């Protein structure tokens, strides 16, 4: 069974640009969550999608957005990139929202210069 796949693995962008990250969950998993990991703030919840609907959103500005497709694949977008957006972005999938374990992808390392 394939794990959670995130693409690309590494990305370098310039301030002001926008970026789209992709996440393919484990087959059969319908819930996808996104997290940002930085040395200063640690792991922070961005948003969660289930059945193409955003169920929860973390405390991030509107420049951070996401969506989920009918096949449960998810994308997140960051517009008008800032240096502080440099981070490891992790996607996690689970069967359903709530009381189940989450499986994480290897992450996308975004560097904003």
Partner 1 sequence: SQQGEEDPQALSIQEGENATMNCSYKTSINNLQWYRQNSGRGLVHLILIRSNEREKHSGRLRVTLDTSKKSSSLLITASRAADTASYFCATERYSTLTFGKGTMLLVSP
Contact residues for partner 1, defined by CB under 8 A: 4, 31, 33, 35, 42-45, 48, 55-56, 58-59, 88, 90, 92, 97-107, 109
Count Cβ neighbours within 10 Å for each residue of 4-35 and write b for 16 or more, e otherwise.
bbbeeeeeebeeeeebebebbbbeebbbbbbb
Q: Toward partner 1, which CB reaches closer, 79 or 103?
A: 103
CB of 16 to partner 1, least distance (A): 26
Q: Toward partner 1, which CB reaches closer, 59 or 70?
A: 59
Strands 10-13 and 108-112: parallel
CB of 6 to partner 1, least distance (A): 8
């Amino acid at each position: 069974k394939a794990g959670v796949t995130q693409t690309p693995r590494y990305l370098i962008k310039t301030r002001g640009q926008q970026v789209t990250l992709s996440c393919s969950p484990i087959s059969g998993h319908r819930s996808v969550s996104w997290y940002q990991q930085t040395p200063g703030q640690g792991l922070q919840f961005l948003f969660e999608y289930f059945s193409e609907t955003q169920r929860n959103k973390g405390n991030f500005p509107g420049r951070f957005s996401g969506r989920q497709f009918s096949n449960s694949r998810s994308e997140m977008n960051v517009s008008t990139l800032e240096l502080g957006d440099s981070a490891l972005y992790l996607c996690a999938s689970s069967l359903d929202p709530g009381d189940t374990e989450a499986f994480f992808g290897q992450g996308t390392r975004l560097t904003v210069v």
